[in-house]
Structure 1
Amino acid sequence: MFKNLTERLSDIIKKMRREVRLTKDNTENMFREIRISLLEADVSLPVIKEFISNIRKKSIGKEILYSLTPGQSLVNLVQYELSHIMGANLDKKYFKLNLLPPFPSVILVVGLQGSGKTTSIGKLSKYLQKKKKKILTVSVDIYRPAAINQLKIVTLESGSDFFPSINTNNSVDIVNSALNYAKINNYDVLIIDTPGQVGIDKKMINEINLIYKIAQPVETLLIVDCMLGQDSLNHAKIFNNMLTLTGIILTKLDGDARGGAALSIQYIIKKPIKFIGISEKIYGLEKFDPIRMTNRILGMGDILSLINSAKENINKISSKKIESKNKEIFDLNDFKAQLIQMKKMGGLNVLIEKLPYYIQKKTNKHDIDKTEKQIKRIEGIINSMTLYERKKPDSIKAKRKKRIAAGAGVNVQEINQMLIQFKQMQNIMQKIKGNSIMKIIRNIKKYIS
């Protein structure tokens, strides 16, 4: 996420911190480097001008010039202004979903075809379900039957309910039927997937506006594909002028090395970013926080989001089962449970992206991807074992290894390697108090400071 921008800004931040005294020359050099970094990241020009203007004005103030650590004070100023560009000055309520009665609360999701609109609805359903909400989804994208089927798949994957679009070409009838069904069956939230096309045309906007009048949504969320750069900002401006938007979901941030759209969009259309898509997985949706995002962009990491993600995604019952063993026997069921918990947090790539940049630099993406594949294979191996073998790993000898290898589609050497890795994990878990991944994450600052 924002790899190129983070690399450049991290280097600039290091230089700033080393400055014992700020002069006109060294500050202007820093501002020029920041400007070039933002331009290369495809940040909107008005945003860059406003940002540089603000830090230039404030950097000549007494609190910066006469500070005991002027370089660090300038870093703090850059951090402050960058977070405000993304909405840190707004009240926190603007970043929350408005899910007030009467129920069902209706969320209208709009965006272009291919922006990740339908997938984001599945992720949003999963997110709200974790908040103990009863969710129903419906698609009115009557021109694309495949989109309706895709919504059904991601909805069922999220554990929510899907309302089948009735056999009609009338989106109004579909919305009315879904609303009535949601009311009768006491759903908390109804999420409507609107028509999506490759480009924005008047017919699509008119249809969405008609759906809006009938559904009376409490939230109208625009899906913005970060990979499109400046084009995504242009599309957002058009949607914003034609519809009553309440917020934005940024998608494909995990594949966006530049970050221009994320930095610019709130400033350009004056609507809050409510969520960000951080992976393709059903759990890959996070609440947006401008201050934490700024820290990630500047290479400072986002440990707080990591902890919150752990709290939200780790199954408390599963954690308690592992903790209750209290340093006794950590078996292969526990090993698999820890791997699943990590997957729910987005996998290794997402976890590492939230660490400070100096730690990220020590990791190799190829190695991480290889490890992710190995984790999947380990799951497959454990799934091929009997319950007895999972509880008693020492019972797995030559004959059992051959049978497990055949069932998992791997060779015996991989079984041996997995068992060695398990033994290593077993030793680590005996040394860590409570045998809980949550406790490791709570203490993560100790390991990176």
Structure 2
Amino acid sequence: MFESLAEKLEGVFKRLKGRGRLDEENVQEALKEIRMALLEADVNFKVVKDFIEDVRVRAIGQDVLESITPGQQIVKIVYDRLVELLGGTSSQLKFGNRFPAPIMLVGLQGCGKTTTSVKLARVLAKSGKRVGLVSADVYRPAAMEQLRVMGEKIGAPVIAADSKQNPVKICVDAVEESKRKGYEVLILDTAGRLHIDAEMMEELKQIKSAVNPSEILFVADAMTGQDAVNVAAKFNEMLGIDGVIMTKMDGDARGGAALSLKAVIGKPLKYVGVGEKIDAMEVFHPERMASRILGMGDILSLVEKAQTVVDEKKARELEQRIRKNEFTLGDFREQLLQIKKMGSLQDIMGMIPGFSKIKSLKQAAPDERELVKIVAIIDSMTIKERNNYLLIDGRRRKRIALGSGTSVQDVNQLLKNYAEIKKMMKRFTSKGGLKALRRGNFRF
């Protein structure tokens, strides 16, 4: 999402670091470019104005201009200010001492409330909470059925409701049902409209009054830009919200809404949707997002993603096979599938520090369809062929290509790449490999 902004800021900081010394004129010139970059990213005008002024005051000081590395000092100032702009620290949900703790999701129609309800239920269930779901949307056809089907996919109980009932009664009855069944959290998927209207707000106010939710979360569509911020502000003014969940953060929106929310409405961004799959929701970490915007990567999020898909026992077994030079095509396939589970390859690479600064790597970013092709080729092999690729002669290559819907050239390329990987692993695990790595002179 922030790729364009990150590239522009990277260019500004590269020029700053290229200067041995800085003066006020250099700083003002850089701030003008940063201002334009933020405005082009659709950040709220007043937010940009305050941001630039704050950075200017901090940057034009003796400690910065007379330091040995003034360019890096300014990058640090911009980073700190971005973290503040994004909310400072991650904001956790507040459940209080109530059982169940009702969490009310609100927003306009089409912002993704129902999908977000299920994603949030999955996140909370993984943290050990017993979570129930209920749909109070009696207006949108099949809204209740959609929640039921999606809830089944993650094994979350969805409390049955009648579309002919009053939405307030549905929510009140669901709270009582949750008490009986011992749910710790109840997520209320409320109805949306194409735009804010008095009837919609009155219904939401009545639900709020009847169930006294622990949290009211506004679901915002990142693709709508500043409109999302304006609508969130209106909901906060009329209903009072506790935070925001932003959907479609994996899209090509410019990112201005995420950068403007906290400053405009004073409420934190708590979760972000980073894909269409049910597991594609993350806690929002301001410091990690600021780091990615400035091209510094996000190792913590990368590690967390890896931990969710990696089986520790299998990882140890794989390590032993690599040490014994027994890494097979079957192992290669398994690793590719685990990487795929972590999400978009482009997103994963964006978490690697320095990746955004290497143009050749960015241009060579892998096509995710290649992963599908590689897995299909390996799936078309026999177990013997996967365990010993040297068995795969010309006749077998033709059969594998035909079975996987690819070409012989594709099969040849996979086997060539796999052979190179095996060679690299053998060198790395050889007697002197680890010592060479520690000395910093290991060569692939």
Q: TM-score, normalised by structure 2?
A: 0.85
Cα contact 1:278–1:285 (8 A) shared by 2:
yes
Once residues 429 and 159 of structure 1 are traced to their aligned partners in structure 2, the CA distance between those partners, rounded to angstroms, is: 41
Counterpart secondary structure, 1:14: helix
Q: Deviations over 1:276-320 (max 9, x none)?
A: 222223332222121221121122222232223223443334434
Pick closer, same or farther for the CA change 1:325–1:18 going to 2, 3 Å.
same
Pick closer, same or farther for the CA change 1:24–1:410 going to 2, 3 Å.
closer
User: 1:120 and 2:116 equivalent?
Assistant: yes
Once residues 273 and 173 of structure 1 are traced to their aligned partners in structure 2, the CA distance between those partners, rounded to angstroms, is: 30
Deviates more, 1:239-248 or 1:54-63: 54-63
Which residue in 2 is equivalent to 1:295? 291
Cα contact 2:350–2:356 (8 A) shared by 1:
no
Once residues 159 and 35 of structure 2 are traced to their aligned partners in structure 1, the CA distance between those partners, rounded to angstroms, is: 49
Which residue in 2 is equivalent to 1:343? 340
Once residues 209 and 383 of structure 2 are traced to their aligned partners in structure 1, the CA distance between those partners, rounded to angstroms, is: 55
Aligned length: 432
Cα contact 2:225–2:253 (8 A) shared by 1:
no
Cα contact 1:139–1:193 (8 A) shared by 2:
yes
Pick closer, same or farther for the CA change 1:318–1:35 going to 2, 3 Å.
same
Pairwise CA distance, 1:252 = 1.7
Which residue in 2 is equivalent to 1:98? 94
Pick closer, same or farther for the CA change 1:161–1:344 going to 2, 3 Å.
farther
Q: Deviations over 1:90-146 (max 9, x none)?
A: xx4x61122454333322211222223222233323322332333322222121133
Counterpart secondary structure, 2:323: coil
Once residues 402 and 394 of structure 1 are traced to their aligned partners in structure 2, the CA distance between those partners, rounded to angstroms, is: 15
Once residues 432 and 181 of structure 1 are traced to their aligned partners in structure 2, the CA distance between those partners, rounded to angstroms, is: 59
User: 1:280 and 2:271 equivalent?
Assistant: no
Q: Deviations over 1:29-55 (max 9, x none)?
A: 111111111111111111111111112
Pairwise CA distance, 1:269 = 0.4
User: 1:330 and 2:327 equivalent?
Assistant: yes
Once residues 349 and 132 of structure 1 are traced to their aligned partners in structure 2, the CA distance between those partners, rounded to angstroms, is: 31
Aligned pairs for 1:369-408 within 5 A: 371-382=367-378, 408=404
Aligned pairs for 1:352-363 within 5 A: 352-355=349-352, 356=354, 358-359=356-357, 361-363=359-361
Which residue in 1 is equivalent to 2:435? none
Once residues 96 and 379 of structure 2 are traced to their aligned partners in structure 1, the CA distance between those partners, rounded to angstroms, is: 43
Pick closer, same or farther for the CA change 1:18–1:397 going to 2, 3 Å.
closer
Once residues 128 and 333 of structure 1 are traced to their aligned partners in structure 2, the CA distance between those partners, rounded to angstroms, is: 34
Which one-letter code corresponds to 1:4 in the other structure? Answer: S
User: 1:45 and 2:45 equivalent?
Assistant: yes
Which residue in 2 is equivalent to 1:233? 229
Counterpart secondary structure, 2:142: helix
Which one-letter code corresponds to 1:272 in the other structure? Answer: P
Once residues 337 and 392 of structure 2 are traced to their aligned partners in structure 1, the CA distance between those partners, rounded to angstroms, is: 23
Percentage identity across paired residues of the two chains? 40
Q: Deviations over 1:163-207 (max 9, x none)?
A: 343353322343234334433333333222111222111222222
Which residue in 2 is equivalent to 1:244? 240
Once residues 53 and 305 of structure 1 are traced to their aligned partners in structure 2, the CA distance between those partners, rounded to angstroms, is: 31
2:196 alignment partner, one of 194, 200, 225: 200
Q: Deviations over 1:340-366 (max 9, x none)?
A: 32122213111122233544633456x
Query: Any unmatched runs of 5+ in structure 2?
Result: 430-437
Which residue in 1 is equivalent to 2:6? 6
Q: Deviations over 1:379-398 (max 9, x none)?
A: 34555666676566666677
Once residues 163 and 422 of structure 1 are traced to their aligned partners in structure 2, the CA distance between those partners, rounded to angstroms, is: 50
Once residues 240 and 334 of structure 1 are traced to their aligned partners in structure 2, the CA distance between those partners, rounded to angstroms, is: 51
Q: Deviations over 1:386-443 (max 9, x none)?
A: 667656666667787777666655566655554544444445555666xxxxxxxxx9
1:170 alignment partner, one of 160, 166, 170: 166
Pick closer, same or farther for the CA change 1:14–1:207 going to 2, 3 Å.
same
Which residue in 2 is equivalent to 1:438? none
Which residue in 1 is equivalent to 2:257? 261
Aligned pairs for 1:12-91 within 5 A: 12-88=12-88
Q: TM-score, normalised by structure 1?
A: 0.84
Pairwise CA distance, 1:24 = 2.4
2:185 alignment partner, one of 175, 189, 197: 189
Cα contact 1:348–1:372 (8 A) shared by 2:
yes
Query: Any unmatched runs of 5+ in structure 1?
Result: 434-442
